[in-house]
Amino acid sequence: MHYAILCYHSEEVVMAWTKEQNEEVMGRLEKVRQRIAKEGKLGPVARLLPTTAATTLRKDRDPPLIIDGPFAETKEQFLGFYIVDVADLDEALGIARELGEANPGGAFEVRPLAVYYPAGV
């Protein structure tokens, strides 16, 4: 079963981390990531640039409307994701918990995939 672990956090807080704090978090996450990858359970992983770099295409009208910024104005922003291949929800939550220990604050949304095309297919 494929799950997406969607990472949410306050962008302003993450931006206020010092370089050392950022490196500390990234280093800890990397260790978890490598372990899951070695077990053959990891799909694509991405950290997104800040929402200020985002553009939104509203397609509920014709022609679609292009808007600067992220889709939703929220207190916590969508900042990145992991795709994992696991047996069940418990295992997905276990990985999320482990990633959470490496990365304080914010939330992970653990969500099963309906359709999955790995790169290049």
Partner 1 sequence: MAEIAWIHAALTSARPQAISALLRYFRDLDIAEEAYQEACLRALKTWPQNGPPRDPAAWLIFVGRNVALDQVRRQKKQEALPDEDRLSDLGDAESEVAERLDGGHYRDDILRLLFICCHPDLPATQQVALALRIVSGLSVKQIARAFLVGESAMEQRITRAKARVAAAHVPFETPGPVERAERLAAVAAMLYLVFNEGYSASGAEADRRRPFSEEAIRLTRLLLRLFQTEPEIMGLLGLMLLQHARAGARLDADGQIVLLEDQDRSLWDREMIAEGLALVDKAMRHRKPGPYQIQAGIAGVHSRAARAGETDWAQIDILYATLEHIQPSPVITLNRAVAIAKLRGPEAALAMVEPLEQSLSGYFYFFGFKGWLLMQLGRDREARSTFDRAIALAGSASEAAHIRQHIDRLMRESGQAAAG
Residues contributing to the site for partner 1 (CB under 8 A): 10-13, 15-18, 21, 49-53, 55, 66-69, 75, 104-105
Query: Which of 102, 67, 68, 56 lies closest to 82 in space, CA to CA?
Result: 102
Residue the block writes with tokens 């800040």: 50
Say which residues have a Cβ less than 8 Å from residue 80's Cβ, sequence separation at least 6.
7, 45, 46, 47, 48
Longest dimension (CA), the chain: 47
Would you say 38 or 75 has its CB closer to partner 1? 75
Would you say 77 or 92 has its CB closer to partner 1? 77
Would you say 10 or 45 has its CB closer to partner 1? 10
What is the nearest approach in angstroms of partner 1 to the Cβ of residue 18? 7
C-alpha 71: how far from chain center = 16
What is the nearest approach in angstroms of partner 1 to the Cβ of residue 21? 6
What is the nearest approach in angstroms of partner 1 to the Cβ of residue 74? 11
Would you say 27 or 69 has its CB closer to partner 1? 69
Q: Strand, coil or helix: what is 38?
A: helix
What is the nearest approach in angstroms of partner 1 to the Cβ of residue 4? 22
